[in-house]
Amino acid sequence: MQRLFSTFADGWPGAGLLLLRLLTGAALVNFGIGSIREGPPPLTIVLQTVGIVAGVALLAGLFTPVTGALAAISKTWIACLQIPTHLNDPWIALVQIILAASLAMTGPGAWSIDARRFGRKHIDL
């Protein structure tokens, strides 16, 4: 499972990844809930729900490469549908796609559930 993660950065890079995860997760949850409240078509509701679930997982740092990729794919699909609402601005979707994809490529960082579950373990002898 460790091959799935590129790094568990610590220190300043780990803090940067933590901030990136928090920003991305909060944006996915916020815009997903706001979009669902507007009553869009059922396909958009499903895609926004995938984005919300991925956002919550990113906030916790759980399966970051997989959830980042799922969020990027669902937001790309939403952007391609071009449903006109004030929350589905294509620039907002583009920013969310880039943030989620960058997390999928870089990994969760040291301060995440992934690092606790799949990170390197030190064995004291």
- Is 15 contained in some domain? no
Give the pLDDT score at 107. Answer: 81
Query: Residue 6's CB: how many other CB atoms inside 10 A?
Result: 13
Q: What is the mean pLDDT of the segment spanning 65-82?
A: 90
Tokens for 53, please give them: 């679930």
Query: Over the stretch 24-59, which tens digit does the pLDDT of each residue have?
Result: 999 999 999 988 898 788 888 999 999 999 999 999
pLDDT one-digit tens code per residue, 102-118: 999 888 887 788 777 77
For residue 125, tell me if it sits in a domain: no
Q: Which residue range(s) make up the domain with 79?
A: 26-118
What's the pLDDT tens digit per position in 4-22?
Answer: 555 676 778 888 888 999 9
> Does 5 fall in a domain?
no
Closest CA to 58 of 88, 99, 89, 93: 99
Total structural domains within the chain: 1
